[in-house]
Amino acid sequence: MAAPSLQYATRSQKQLSIVSGPPAWNTLATFQQPGTKIYRYSEDGRLFASVSNSTIEVVDAQTGNVVSQIPAKGILDMYLSPLGSQVQTWERQVKPEEGQPPHLNLRVFDVRSGAEIIAFSQKSIENWHLQYTADESKAVRCVTNEVHVYNPRDWSAGIIDKVRLEGVTSISLSPGQNPNVALFVAEKKGAPASVKIHGLGTLALASGSKTFYKADKVQMKWNKSGTNLLFLTQTDVDKTGKSYYGESNLYLMNSAGQFDCRVTLDKEGGIHDFTWSPNDREFAVTYGYMPAKTVIFDARVKVINDFGLNPRNFLSYNPQGRLLCVAGFGNLAGQVDVYDRQTLKKVASFDAPNTVHCEWSPDGRYLMCATLSPRLRVDNGIKVHHFTGVLVHYEKSEELYQASWRPTNPGWYPMSGPLEPAPAASISVASAPVAKPAAAAGAYRPPHARGTVTSNIYKREDEGGAAYTGSNGADLFPHSRTANGAGNGGFSQRGARRAIPGAPPGAAPNAEDPLANRRKKKGGNKKGQQQDGGASPADSAPGSGAATPLAPPIPMVTEPIAPAAAEPDAGNALSPEDKKRRAIVKKLTAIDQLKVKKASGEKLELTQHKKLESEAELRKELAALGGK
C-alpha cells in the first residue's frame, strides 16, 4: 500500500482550505466560511473538523466529503478524540440565575450522529479539554482537588475512578500502551510544589513523585512511549531581580519512579525550548541569555552534543528523529539551522523571518514556516522549505490565523538512507517576496573608539569574550579591578600618584604629598615635623603609616599666562580682600564668555543678560580693591 500524500490546512479571514502536498500542491477543498473560528485534525489524520458561528462541520480529510454537521453556537474551542469518534467543545460560561443549575459549557458530541453525549461545567478555558488514551478506552479530567477518569464508550457509567490531591491545577496524560497521568500542584504558602505520576491502572498509588520550589506553573512533555517525563517549571516573578520573565527550571522523571533529577544547565538565563527526540532516548534544550546555548542530553541527563552559542529559541525534531531544527523566531531574526542527528553536522541554514508557527511535515522532509495574525498582520502566508533550505512552495494569504500539516504515521516515510536532494520548486515560489538582507549595524561605538580593536571585556562569549558565570562567584566585571577595585588606580592605593593621560610617566599635578598637605592644614607645625612641611625620617620609615615622599615632578614647559590679579602663595591662607578679588575676576571671566556667545549670534537667557549688565559695577568694585 502506497504512503498517503502530504496535506496541510489553512484558516484565513475569508476562507478555510485543504491543500495537497508535493509535488502538485493542489487545493483539495475550499470552504467559504468567513466566520470560521478554529479547525482541528483527528490524531490519525482521517477527519477534519471546523467550527463556524453556528455549526461544527466534520469532513473526510482525504476527499473533503462531509461526514456530519452538528448545530452548535458560541463555540470557541474544539478537539477531536484520537480515533475521531467524538468531538468535545468549549463555550464561554454564562452565570446562571439564582436557583438554577450551572451552565454546562463543556460538551461532548458523537461525530457520526451529532448527538450530545455528556456535558460538564468548565469555567476556565485553560486546560479545559478531556484527555483521551490512544485507544479511547479512558478519558481523564481535572477538577478542583481531584482527577476523574471516565469510560468514553459508556459515559452513562459516570466516574469509574478518581484520585484526590489537594491543590492540583493541571494534568498530563502520557501516550503508550500503559498510560500514566502526571499531576502538578503549585507552590503555596511556603509548601513546595510537586509533580506526581499515577498509573491509570493503579490510580490510587503514585509511582513517582518530585517536590521542588520556585514553581507557579508547569509545562509537561512525555516521550513517545510514555516512560519519561520532562517538565519545565516557571515563576511569574524572579525574586533575585535578574530576569523580567521570572525563573525557570527543567526536571526529568521516570514514570516508574526509578530516576528523577533536575537538568543542570551551565549558562545563566531562561529556558527557551525543550523537546524529546522520537527515538525516546534523548532530548534537546536551548537555554541561557542570548546568544543561547543548545545541547542534546541522553535519558540520564548526560551531554551528547553541544551546538555552541547562537541566537536561537526554537527546537524541533522531525518525526523520524533524523533531523533537528534549531531556529530563532519571535523577536529574533528568523535564522534556521538544520542538523543531521546521525552525523551531528549542519545540513543547511536559511532565513525564515517573521515566522510565527514552524512545523515539520509528517514525512520529515519539509518545514512549514507560517506568518500568522494577530501576531503579525502584514506579509501573512506560509513558506514550505525543504530540509536543504530550498523554498519549494509559497502561499500568500490575507490575515492568516491558522496553518498546520495533516497528521500521518511517520512510519510511512522512513529516512534511514542517505539524505536526498531537494525536489523542484512549485510555480508559486516565483511570487514569493525576496527578503532583503539587513545591513549589519553592529554595536554602537563612541567616536573616539571607532576604528580600534574591541577589548575582550566588552565582547560576547561567542566572540572570544569571557563566559558569563556570575551565579557561581565568578568575576563578572574584570575591568572593575582597575577602575574602582583593588588594582592600579583603585581605592586601595590612596597614597599613589594620580596618573595624567598623555603625561610622561611619573608626572603629577603637584609635587607635594597630598596627605602631607592635609596634615599641615589640620595641625600646622607639630612637634617632630619639619618646618618645610616634609615628613620626618621617622614618619617615612616602613610601617609608620605615613605616605612615602614622592619623587619630584618632571618639569613641563608651558606658556606663561599673565595673572588677572596677584595670587598669594598657595601655602598661606588668603585674606578676605584676596578672596573677594578672586570671586570678582571669576565673574568677569564668565561675562567675557557670554559676550563671545552673543557676538556669534547665540540667543542668551534673561539671567545671562543680567550678568552682562552687572559688568561695569564689577569692574568698579575690582578697581577699588586694587585689581586690574
Q: Is residue 37 a contact partner of residue 29, using CB atoms and an 8 Å limit?
A: no
CB 27 within 8 A of CB 18: yes
pLDDT band at 415 (very low <50, low <70, confident <90, very high): confident
Closest CA to 123 of 143, 109, 108, 140: 143
pLDDT at residue 550, as a whole number = 45
Mean pLDDT of 95-122: 89
Check the CA dihedral 59-60-64-68 and report its sign.
negative
Out of 60-64, 130-134, 232-236, 565-569, least confident range: 565-569
* Phi, psi for 118 (deg, rounded to 5): -155, 160
Q: Tell me which of 457 and 533 has the higher pLDDT.
A: 457
Higher-pLDDT residue of 497 and 357 is 357
**Is pLDDT above 80 for 364?**
yes
Higher local confidence (pLDDT), 577 or 334:
334
- pLDDT per residue as tens digits for the range 21-42: 888 888 887 776 667 889 999 9
DSSP assignment of 184-225? EE--BTTBPEEEEEEETTEEEEEEEEEEESS-SEEEEEE-TT
Beta strands in 32-179 (DSSP E): 38-41, 47-51, 55-60, 66-71, 75-80, 86-91, 106-110, 116-120, 131-132, 139-143, 146-150, 161-164, 168-173
Contact 412, 4 (CB under 8 A): yes
> Phi, psi at residue 10, to the nearest 5°?
-135, 150
pLDDT tier for residue 480 given thresholds of 50, 70 and 90:
very low
DSSP string, 519-574: HHHHH-S-TT--TTSPPPTTTTSTTS-PPPPPPPPPP--------SSPPPPTTSPP
**What does the pLDDT look like over 70-105, one tens digit per residue?**
998 889 999 999 998 999 999 998 888 888 888 898
Pick the more confident residue, 599 or 296: 296
Q: Which DSSP symbol is given to 321?
A: S
Mean pLDDT in the chain?
A: 80
Grid coordinates representing 83 are 480515533
**CA atoms of 509 and 310, how far apart (whole Å):** 49
Tell me what pLDDT residue 463 has.
Answer: 66
pLDDT score of 541:
42
Confidence of residue 517 (pLDDT cuts 50, 70, 90): low
Q: What is the percent of the chain with per-residue pLDDT over 90, rounded to a whole number?
A: 33
Give the cell for residue 397: 494569504
The mean pLDDT value for 521-529 works out to 48
pLDDT, tens digit, 9 for 90 and up, residues 287-329: 999 899 999 999 898 999 999 999 999 999 999 999 999 999 9
**Percent with pLDDT over 70 in the chain:** 78
pLDDT at site 10: 92
Rg (alpha carbons) of the chain, rounded to whole number:
38
Of the listed ranges 159-168, 349-358, 407-416, 501-510, the least confidently predicted one is 501-510
Confidence at residue 314, expressed as pLDDT on a 0 to 100 scale: 94
What pLDDT was estimated at residue 93? 86
> For residue 574, what pLDDT is reported?
77
Most confident by average pLDDT, 393-402, 506-515, 600-609: 393-402
pLDDT in tens, 529-584: 444 444 444 444 444 444 444 444 444 444 444 444 444 444 456 788 888 888 88
Closest CA to 196 of 212, 182, 215, 186: 182
pLDDT of 605 reads: 85
pLDDT of residue 571: 43
Of 242, 249, 182, the residue nearest 216 (C-alpha): 249
What would you measure as the largest C-alpha separation in the chain, in angstroms?
116
Cβ atoms 229, 253 nearer than 8 A: yes
Global pTM reads: 0.68
pLDDT at 372 (0 to 100)? 92
Q: What's the confidence (pLDDT) of residue 368?
A: 93
pLDDT value at 491 more than 50: no
